[in-house]
A and B are shown apart, each in its own frame.
Chain A
Amino acid sequence: MADDGVNTKVEAVSKATTETIELRTEDGGVFDVDKPVAMEFLILKSFYEDEGRVFDKTSIRLPNVKQLELSKVIEYCTRALEFGAKSAAAAGDKDAERMVRQEREGFEAEFVDELSNEMLKELILAVNFLDIKEMLDFLIRSVANRIRNRSVAYVRQFFDIENDFTPQEEDQIHQENAWAFEGVDAD
C-alpha cells in the first residue's frame, strides 16, 4: 500500500462514525463493511471512483462470494489496515517497525493455519474476484508454502495432476534437475 493510502486510511479508521457499505453474498449473508475496508476491494473501489458514482448507502450484491469467505476477507483486510497504520506510526523507529512486522507475521501465520486447503482455494477465488492485491499475494504465497517442502508425488496428489511423462522422460527430467534434489528428503 502506498504511503498516501495508509495516511488517509489512518484518518478514516480513527473516525468514530465510519461510513459503511452493505454487502450481500450469494448465499444470503449480509455484511456491514467499513468504507476503508471495502475500498480495499478494487472491484468496489473502481466501481465508485472510475464510474464517478456518489458514495451512498447502497446495498451491493457480490454474486461470486459466499459469506464464509467474505467474513474471512473482511477480517484480514481490517487487520491489514490496522497494521498499515501501526507501521506508518512506527516509521523511523527500527525496533517499533520490527515489532509491528512480527505482530503481523504472527497474525498471518495463525490466519492461514486455520484454513483447510479447500477454504484456502475458495478464499483465493473470492479475493481474485474482489481484486484485493495484497491479500491475493498473501494467499498465493501460502499455497506455495504448503507445497514447497513436499515431494513431486505429493504435489501431484495435492492438485490432482496426472503424470503425463513416460518413465524415460521422467527419468531424464529428474536427471537434468538432479542438483535441485540434493539434500532433500522424500516428502
Chain B
Amino acid sequence: MEELAMLRQLVGQLQELLELYGSRPPHPLQPLYPLPLSQLHSQQHNRWCFLNVDDGSTDDYYSLIMAAGKSGSLKMLEPYKPPPAKKLRKERTRGKSSRTANSVEVMEQQIWKDFPEDLFEAVIARLPIATFFRFRSVCQKWNDLLNSQSFSQYCAQVPQGNPWFYTITHENVNSGAMYDPSLKKWHHPSISSLPNKIIILPVASAGGLVCFLDIGHRNFYVCNPLSQSFKELPARSVKVWSRVAVGMTLNGNSTIEGYKILWVGCDGEFEVYDSVKNSWTRPGNMPSSIKLPLSLNFRSQAVSSDGTLHFMRSAPEGIVSYDMATGVWKQDIIPAPLHLTDHTLAECGGRIMLVGLLTKNAATCVCIWELQKMTLLWKEVDRMPNIWCLEFYGKHVRMTCLGNKGLLMLSLRSKQMNRLVTYNVSSREWLKVPGCVVPRGRKRQWIACGTAFHPCLTAVA
C-alpha cells in the first residue's frame, strides 16, 4: 500500500519535472573522485527538493535548525559546489522504455537511477569474490573497477573473512587451484598470470599477495592470484642458490603501503626486500648467540605475527624470530614433542601453535600444540577426531600444512589415501574439504604444496 503511494508520488514528481523542463531529466552528475558521502548525497537530492517547493527559497534546504531565535546554516550542509565532472556513462537510448509505457514498469527501472556511484562500488565490494568476477561482464565500468582507487578503498573496508588457499596440485604444476573455505568451492582459473615456462612454488603470503620462488631458488615473484597483478622481484645479491626459508610482512594495514620479504639460509645469511624501494638490502648479521648452521624446517612456512617473522629450526630445536621493524634476531630453544613428524608452525591471535603428526605404535594422529610462553614448552591443545585418524592406522602418512594463520588446510597422503581437512584454530573446528577436481575431470588431485592468502581484489604486486 505504502509502496503504491510512494510510486504515485514519484510519478507525480516526474510529471512535474517534464512540465517544468519539457524534456527528460538530465543524467545525474558523476564526480570522478571519491567524495565524503554526506556531501555527495545532499548534492544529488537538492534537485528533488527544489522541485517540491513553491517559493523556491534555497536557504531552507541548507539549514537544519528550525528553533526559535536560531538561524543560519550548518557547516556540513553548506551549498555544495560540485567539482567539474565528466559524464561517465554513455547516453542511453530510451526508445524501448518510452514514457507512454506502463508507468509502474518505468518506475521499476528508475529505482537505481539516482544512486550515487560510490555506493554502487560499496555494494560491489561486498559481493563474494567469484560473484565479482562473474559480474565483470555486466558493463565496462564494472569490468574496470579493479583499477579504481575508490573501489580499492571500499574493498579495504570490508572485514576480512576466511582466507583462501592457493594450491599447486600434482597435475597442474604450472597453474594453481584455489579453495574458498567459506563456500567450500574449488576454483581453477583458466588464465594464470604466472610465467608458465618455469616452475614456481608459493612460499609466503601477506595482504592478498602471494610470494613465489622458482624451484631452483633463484628468483622471487609476487602475484595477486585473483587479479593479473604480477611482479618479478629484482635479483638477490647472493650467488649461491641454496635452499632458503621465506617470510613476508605488510608495512601497514594493506598492500597500498608496501610489503617486505625476507629470505634466510642455513648459513645465517639473510636479506630483506622492500617493495617501496624495490630493492634488497642486508640489514646486518645474525647475532653470534644464534647457533649456526640453522637447520631450518623448510616445510614449515614462516609465521608472521605483529611484524615479527618466526622460523622453525632444529639442532637445537626451537624458533628463531626476526623483528622487521628493529631488524633484531632472537632465538628460543623449545624441545619438540616426541614422535613428531611433518610439523609446521602456525599462529592465531598472537598464540604460536605447532601442527604435526604424532605416530605411536602404528597409530597416527594429527595434533595441535600451543606454545606456553612462560615455560617455552609445547602443550597439546587439540587432536583430529579419532574416527578420522583410524584411517591412517598402520599406514605411512605424510602431511603438508597450507596456511599458518587462523585457518589451516592439511593435506594427508599415503599410498592409497588422499585426504584434505581444514582446521580452525580459534573455533577448534575440523572440517573435510571436498576433493580438488579439475573442470570436466574426475580424478581427485593431490596437493603438492600451497599457501593461504586473503582474497583481496585490489592488492597490487
Contacts and interface: CB of A to CB of B under 8 A. Distances in A.
Interface of A: 24, 26, 43, 46-47, 50-51, 58-64, 68, 116-119, 121-122, 124-125, 128-129, 131, 140-141, 143-144, 147-149, 152, 155-156, 158-165, 170, 173-184
Contact of B190 (A131, A160, A179): A179
Describe A's contact surface by its main secondary structure: helix
Nearest to B440: A182
27 contacts: A26-B49, A47-B74, A59-B67, A60-B64, A60-B65, A60-B66, A61-B64, A61-B66, A63-B45, A63-B61, A64-B41, A116-B3, A117-B111, A118-B7, A125-B41, A143-B126, A147-B123, A147-B135, A148-B127, A149-B131, A160-B112, A162-B92, A174-B137, A175-B190, A180-B187, A181-B134, A182-B188
B113 interface: yes
Which of the four size classes fits the interface of chain B?
Answer: 35 or more
Given A140-B119, A165-B140, A182-B439, A131 B38 contact: yes
Nearest to A172: B137
Contact of B90 (A46, A59, A164, A180): A164
A95 B61 CA distance: 49
Interface string B91-103: 0100000000000
B239 interface: no
A41 to B, nearest CB: 11
A44 B120 CA distance: 25
A68 B6 contact: yes
Nearest to A47: B74
Nearest to A170: B137
Contacts of B28: none
B3 A124 contact: no
Interface centre among B70, B133, B137, B187 (most CB of A within 10 A): B137
Interface string B16-50: 00000000000000000000011001101100010
A182 B110 CA distance: 32
A155 to B, nearest CB: 5
Interface in B62-95: 63-67, 70, 74-76, 89-90, 92
A170 B140 CA distance: 10
Contact of B119 (A46, A50, A68, A124): A124
Given A51-B74, A141-B126, A180 B66 contact: no
A118 B111 contact: yes
A158 B41 CA distance: 22
Contacts of A147: 123, 127, 135
Interface in B172-203: 185, 187-191
Given A118-B111, A128-B41, A179-B190, 14 more contacts: A64-B41, A64-B49, A119-B6, A129-B38, A131-B37, A140-B123, A144-B127, A147-B135, A148-B128, A152-B134, A152-B138, A161-B139, A163-B139, A165-B139
Contacts of A165: 137, 139-140, 143
B134 A121 contact: no
A85 B298 CA distance: 49
Contact of A156 (B115, B139, B187): B139
A62 B70 CA distance: 16
B178 to A, nearest CB: 8
A143 B66 contact: no
Nearest to B140: A164
A128 B49 contact: no
Contacts of A158: 112
B3 A119 contact: yes
A123 B49 CA distance: 17
Contacts of B136: 173, 177
Contacts of A60: 64-66
B112 A121 contact: yes
Contacts of B138: 152, 155-156, 161, 163
A173 B134 CA distance: 9
A45 to B, nearest CB: 11
Q: Which of B74, B112, B189 has the most CB of A within 10 A?
A: B112
A179 B188 contact: yes
Contacts of A131: 37-38
A182 B190 CA distance: 11
Given A63-B61, A124-B119, A162-B90, A177 B38 contact: no
B15 interface: no
Contacts of B140: 164-165
B76 A43 contact: yes
Contacts of A174: 137
Contacts of A140: 119, 122-123, 126
Contacts of B67: 58-59
B238 interface: no
B62 to A, nearest CB: 8
Nearest to A140: B122
A47 to B, nearest CB: 6
A104 to B, nearest CB: 16
